[in-house]
Amino acid sequence: MTGPRSRTQLRRAVASSYLGSLIEYYDFLLYATASAVVFNKVFFSSLDPLVGTVASFGTLATGYLARPLGGALFGHYGDRIGRKRMLILTMALMGVASVLIGLLPTYGQIGALAPVLLIVLRIAQGVAVGGEWGGAVLMSAEHATSRRGLWASFTNAGAPSGMVLSTLVLALAAGATGEEQFLAWGWRIPFLLSAVLLAVGLFVRAKVEETPVFAASTAPERPPLMEVLTRHPRALLLSIGVGFGAFVAQGTLTVFVISYAVQAGFPRPTVLNALTVSSVVAVLGIIGFSALSDRLGRRPVVLAGAIAMAGWAFLIFPLIDSGSTALLVLSVVVGQGVVHASMYGPLAALYSELFPTRSRYTGASLGYQVAGIGAGLAPVVFASVMAGSASSTAVSTIIAACCLVSVGCILVLGETSRLDLTSEPQARALP
C-alpha cells in the first residue's frame, strides 16, 4: 500500500491504537487506582486495614498474571487471521468487564462472593489488555514505512493517558460525592463510564484496515506460539528481561506510591493530582523518547532510562517522606514522566522488531505481558515488605535490582531500529 491511502491508513491506525490503548488502560489502571484507595474498604472490609491493602493489591496482581494468557490467546488468532478482529474483541471484553465491576455488590451486601467475583472480572480485564497491546502496537508499526518508534509509541502513550483519565474521573467522583458517599456508590461512576468509551473506541477501530505487512505474509505451518518458543526463545527471554525493570518501576510509580504517600500523611486528592500531572508529562516523554530512539537507536535510549531509574529509585521515597507537596510532585513527575518514559516508550517498536510477521503478535505480546507481571507483583511485594517493618530503602533496592536486570538484557540484545519488518529473523540478524 503506497501513496495517500497508506498515509491515511497510518493516521487511522495510530489514532485507533492510541485511543484503544487509552480506553483499555483507563479501565485497567482505574482498577489499580481504586485498589489503592477504595477496594480495601469496599471488598475487604472484614480484614485489618494493612492486610486489606495487601489483599486489594493481590486482586490487582491477578490482572497482570492473566495478561500473558491474553497475549498467547489473542496473539495466536491475531497471527493467524489478522490484527484488526482481535483488537475489536479485546476492547469489547475489557469494556464489559469494567462495567460489571461498576455494578458489583460489595462485601457488606453478598459477603465473600464479592471479592471472588471481583477477581474473576479482574482476570477478564487482564486477558483483554494482554491481547490488546500487541495488536495495537502492530497496527501502527506495520502500517509505518518510517519513524516506527514514533508511530508505535502512541500505543504506549495510551497507558499514562488512561491513567490521567482514570485518576481524573475518580478524583472528580470523590470530590463530587464526599468520602462517605464515594465509598458507598461514587466509586462506581468511573467504571460505568467505560460503556461510553467502549462505543467510541469500537467506532474508530472499525475504520482501520488490516496492516499491509500482515496482508502480504503467509501463515506458518506451526502454531505461532510454537514458532516463538522453538525458533525465537532467546529473543523472547531477552524481551522479558528488557521490560521487567520498566514494569516494576511502573507498578511502583502508579500504584504503590499512592498508598505510600497517603500513609505518609498526604491527602488522597493531593496524591491523585500529583499522579495526574506525572502521567501528562509521561505521555509527552514516551512520544519524545521514542522519536529519539528512531535517531539514536532503541538500545541507548532504553539503557540510559534503566540506569537512571535504578538511581532514582533511592530518591522516590525520601522525597515523599519530606512531607512537601512540591517534592511529592517532583518524585513522581521525574520518575514517571521522564526517567520511566525513556526506558518504556521505545519498547513498543523494539518488541515489534524482534519477531517475524506471522508470530509477531504472539511473540511481542508474550514478551511484553510476562514482563508486565512485574507491575502487578511490585505493589503486593512492596506492601508486604513495608508490613514487615522494613524501610523504604529495601523497596528501592529491589527496584534498582530489577532495573539492572533490564540493563543486562538490553546490553545483550542487538540494535533493532533499522530492521525491516518484512524480512526473516536470520536476515535481520536478531539474537
Higher pLDDT, 128 or 52: 128
Q: Which domain holds residue 176?
A: 3-428
In b/e form, how buried is each residue of 164-196, taking b as 16+ CB within 10 angstroms? bbbbbbbbebbeebeeeebbeebbbbbbebbee
Contact 308, 339 (CB under 8 A): yes
Residue 335: pLDDT band by 50, 70, 90 thresholds?
very high
Higher pLDDT, 306 or 164: 306
In the chain, the percentage of residues whose pLDDT exceeds 70 is: 90
Residue 430: pLDDT band by 50, 70, 90 thresholds?
low
In the chain, the percentage of residues whose pLDDT exceeds 90 is: 46
Residue 75: pLDDT band by 50, 70, 90 thresholds?
very high
Look up the pTM and report it. 0.86
- Residue-wise pLDDT for 227-253, tens only, equals 999 999 999 999 999 999 999 999 999
- Residue-wise pLDDT for 247-285, tens only, equals 999 999 988 898 899 889 998 788 888 988 999 999 999
Higher pLDDT, 235 or 219: 235
Q: Is the pLDDT of residue 424 over 70?
A: no
Write down the pLDDT at residue 289.
Answer: 98
Q: Average pLDDT of 205-234?
A: 88
Contact 39, 59 (CB under 8 A): yes
Write down the pLDDT at residue 50.
Answer: 56
Q: For residues 295 and 335, what is the distance between their CA atoms, to the nearest angstrom?
A: 24
Write down the pLDDT at residue 183.
Answer: 73
What single-letter DSSP state applies at residue 323? Answer: -
Grid coordinates representing 343? Answer: 526506558
Contact 297, 377 (CB under 8 A): no
Q: Average pLDDT of 366-385?
A: 88
CATH number at residue 223: 1.20.1250.20
Write down the pLDDT at residue 46.
Answer: 57
Write down the pLDDT at residue 411.
Answer: 94
Q: Is the pLDDT of residue 427 over 50?
A: no
Residue 269 burial (10 A CB sphere; 0-12, 13-18, 19+): exposed
- Residue-wise pLDDT for 100-145, tens only, equals 988 988 777 887 788 788 888 888 988 998 898 999 999 999 998 8
| Number of domains within the chain | 1
Q: For residues 45 and 55, what is the distance between their CA atoms, to the nearest angstrom?
A: 11
Q: For residues 359 and 286, what is the distance between their CA atoms, to the nearest angstrom?
A: 26
Residue 52: pLDDT band by 50, 70, 90 thresholds?
low
Q: For residues 86 and 110, what is the distance between their CA atoms, to the nearest angstrom?
A: 35
